[in-house]
A and B are shown apart, each in its own frame.
Chain A
Amino acid sequence: MLTNRRLIAAHFWLAFIVFGVALVLGAWQMFVRSPLNAWHFNPEFYYRSVTAHGSAMGYVFPTLIAMGFGYAITEASLEKALIGRRWAWAGFFLVAVGAVVAMIPVSLGLASVLYTFYPPMVGNPFYYIGVVMVVVGSWIWVTLMVTNFTIWKRENPGKPVPLAMYANVAGSLLWGWTAVGAALEILFQILPVALGLKSKIDAGLARVFFSWTLHAIVYFWLIPTYIAYYTIFPRAIGGRLFSDAMARISFILFVVVAMPIGVHHLFADPQVGAGFKFMHSVFTGLVALPTLLTVFTICASAEIASRLRGGRGAFGWIGALPWSNPIMLATALSLVMLGFGGAGGLINMSYQLDAAVHNTQWITGHFHLIFGGAIVIMYFAIAYDLWPHLTGRALDSFGLMRTQLWLWFIGMIVTTFPWHYVGILGMPRRMAFYDYANPAISPQAFSVAMSAIGGFILLLSGLLFLLVLIRGQFGVRGEAGAYRFAVPLHMPARIPVALNSFGLWLALMVGLTVVNYGFPIAQLMALKETSVPAVYVGAGR
């Protein structure tokens, strides 16, 4: 039963409104820097737009999805009302107000520092304060998830926590710890400079702190998607989850190894020693493990569903899957994009190959494919699945949903494949202007134009998605019943305590952080003369 439907719906609606606005900016960025546009605008607008798009898509949108979905999971899986409803609303308003506070200076051109902050560039303090408010709002959610988890366990001694809730708490703990890096960077490095209390900044140390956040944040984005794979997908296609324990182990692996690997974002940075870069690479390799486990478990669960429906043969069962079901379609498309994106990721994580693609459009192509593609398409699926339970009305525009999902998939492939390719040709990212008339650059023109067209397909798909949700608000009334999660094939009555708690995993996560980050951070803090004068952006004209 979902008790606090308005709370959950508010999170999803705000998330998708932010997404819609940022999507328009994204499509505009694609267009203006492509050869389809005759050059006639102020390049500063491009950086404003990228800052707004990146901050909205990276910080606000997925955070709201994780929060809203987390509340829904708490109520539906624990079968009781959320504890701390007022706090949840407070968190929501902090995120909402923080987003506005951050976006005002960005739209005024006072904080075009891009969502990765890029010290020694420093913008208007309100941009950073807004981001901090978003993070603090999400930390309220983290606290609530842990509280609800702990209280339920106390009330139900000996019972396994439902998988959806276990995974949800794993995501919230991971986020709680990983956001500390960026928070340290903003509070101790950037804000004092932005407020005029200091004029120098240790850009190297600041970047190390940011890397602390930067890798695991992508797993925080990913976790709602994985929860949907494990707990929505098998139920939606009428099957069962292949293995509950395997699912728990995947989420545990994310908690332990997703965070102490962020230095793979600093391969080209001089302030971290090569030995630590190597150690982070090794653990980066390990983080592929939970994804492999997941792909295996999900495919096995699909096979179970198909065989239950009468599918046969070594591959024949694939045809017997309920392909007209939007959740089936979304999951399949998501896994395809995850496969391509994962292959690209293997290239990024290898020190030598990374040197060839570092800071090129390959990188933007890569994270759009994984994040915008594989992850966000499951956010759509979650919304489609949950909507009737939030509105109390039927959501039955199935044809429209399938069209929307296909368009998102096609748009994402058309956008990101050429985007990767021009990256290999050497096109740098984060530039507003490319002179396609130049013989050295003109071979990239066609691919860039193609990916701009893909951007418009994505925009169209995004609008269709909002249309489906709006229609859902006006559909015929009908009680959707209790919201349920997939049931595992075998559910043991008792599971090992390690798979039902987080103490051990948190200890390993913090321990690995100390091992992998302790020395680089301590050394940079101890070294003198590592600060450089800040470069204020949007300063006096």
Chain B
Amino acid sequence: MSDQPLFSPRNPWFGISVGVTAAIAVLSAIAGLIWLPLAQPNLKLAGVWDAICSAAGVPRAAVQEAGVKPDFKTSNVVMTSEMLTKVDQVSIGRGATLAQRCAICHGPQGVSDAHSPNLAGQFAAVTYKELNDFKTGARVSVVMGPFAAAMSDQDMKDVAAYYAYLPRVPSDNLDTGRAAPAVVVTGAPMRNIPPCGSCHGDIDNKAGSPWLGGQSAVYIKAQLEAFASGARRNDISQQMRNIARRMTPEEIDQVAHYYEAQP
């Protein structure tokens, strides 16, 4: 037995197994790469080589069609999960100085008494994105627009770093025992609403989603309504507009008060 050669034309096992395997491979390649694609008229193939390339998955340039351009500005910020997550002391220091002018509305410690959003402890990437959107006009605000217009890219990074560095302060309505509304934990699958918590913390935090705990209920409600009506449209790929449009007014009210009561 061990004196029998294995890889040799004299060994019938060798010839038959290699032959059968190769035959199946070749036949299935001919069928899959040539015959089946050519049998499909809707593929509009130019010939055999075209069929092979198409069936092998070689990408083809998509037909260039003029896309519908929105008549408003969209955000040009590209979010990634590690954006601005590295702490930079110099940046925080500069940010502290720059933030003096924000204090009148957002509070000296980044906590507002005037239903302007609390910025203390907000993720730097979030603050940075909003400032950018104010500057480009993707998010419209007569108050914030002029401030942002005067800021350089580095200024915005610094202010964002400073606010991220400040400790979060719970609101006066803190109530950690409050039960989470269903839409926060489970979303509403049949309306295509994912759980709020799957992006805004508690369950997971996704890039660019702000921390909502302790935020003023009035502010949260106003923003959700703005997303729903389309008055605010700087959310990338309509992530929040698609959700807010499908929320009921009661749900909006519930989540606003729920998040205000969270730390």
Complex partner residue of B6 from A272, A274, A498, A527, CB under 8 angstroms: A498
Q: Decide yes or no whether B25 CB sits under 8 A from chain A.
A: yes
**Stretch touching chain B among A56-64, A293-301, A369-377, A529-537:** A529-537
**Stretch touching chain A among B14-22, B127-135, B145-153:** B14-22
Residues of A within 8 A of B14 (CB): 498, 504
B206 lies within 8 A of A274 (CB): no
Residues of A within 8 A of B113 (CB): none
Q: Decide yes or no whether B102 CB sits under 8 A from chain A.
A: no
Residues of B within 8 A of A196 (CB): 82
Q: Decide yes or no whether A282 CB sits under 8 A from chain B.
A: yes
**Stretch touching chain A among B26-34, B219-227, B237-245:** B26-34
A500 lies within 8 A of B1 (CB): yes
Min Cβ gap B80→A in Å is 5
A527 to B85, CA, bound (A): 30
Q: Decide yes or no whether B192 CB sits under 8 A from chain A.
A: no
Convert B98-140 into 0s and 1s, putting 1 for each residue whose CB lies closer than 8 angstroms to a CB of A. Answer: 0000000000000000000000000100000000000000000
Q: Decide yes or no whether B24 CB sits under 8 A from chain A.
A: yes
A519 lies within 8 A of B32 (CB): no
Kindly report which residue of chain A lies nearest to residue B16, judged by CB atoms. A498
Q: How large is the interface on B (under 10, 10 to 19, 20 to 34, 35 or more residues)?
A: 35 or more
> In A512-541, which residues have CB < 8 Å from any B CB?
512, 515-516, 519-520, 523, 527, 533-541
**Stretch touching chain B among A11-19, A302-310, A433-441, A476-484:** A433-441
Q: Decide yes or no whether B205 CB sits under 8 A from chain A.
A: yes
B13 lies within 8 A of A504 (CB): yes
Min Cβ gap A508→B in Å is 5
Q: How large is the interface on A (under 10, 10 to 19, 20 to 34, 35 or more residues)?
A: 35 or more
A283 to B80, CA, bound (A): 41
> In A110-166, which residues have CB < 8 Å from any B CB?
153, 157-158, 160
A275 to B52, CA, bound (A): 8
Kindly report which residue of chain B lies nearest to residue A501, judged by CB atoms. B6
Kindly report which residue of chain B lies nearest to residue A159, judged by CB atoms. B1
Residues of B within 8 A of A535 (CB): 81, 206-207
Residues of B within 8 A of A523 (CB): 56-58
**Stretch touching chain B among A38-46, A94-102, A226-234:** A38-46
Residues of B within 8 A of A276 (CB): 32, 55-57
Complex partner residue of A158 from B2, B33, B52, B82, CB under 8 angstroms: B2
Kindly report which residue of chain A lies nearest to residue B25, judged by CB atoms. A515
A-B contact pairs, 30 of them (CB 8 A): A39-B182, A42-B203, A43-B186, A43-B198, A273-B56, A274-B32, A274-B37, A275-B36, A278-B28, A278-B31, A278-B36, A282-B31, A435-B186, A435-B190, A440-B190, A496-B11, A497-B1, A504-B6, A508-B21, A516-B25, A519-B56, A520-B56, A520-B57, A523-B58, A534-B81, A538-B204, A540-B123, A540-B205, A541-B201, A541-B202
By a beta-carbon cutoff of 8 Å, the part of chain A in contact with chain B is 39, 42-44, 153, 157-158, 160, 196, 199, 256, 271-279, 282-283, 286, 431, 433-435, 438, 440-441, 494-501, 503-505, 507-508, 511-512, 515-516, 519-520, 523, 527, 533-541
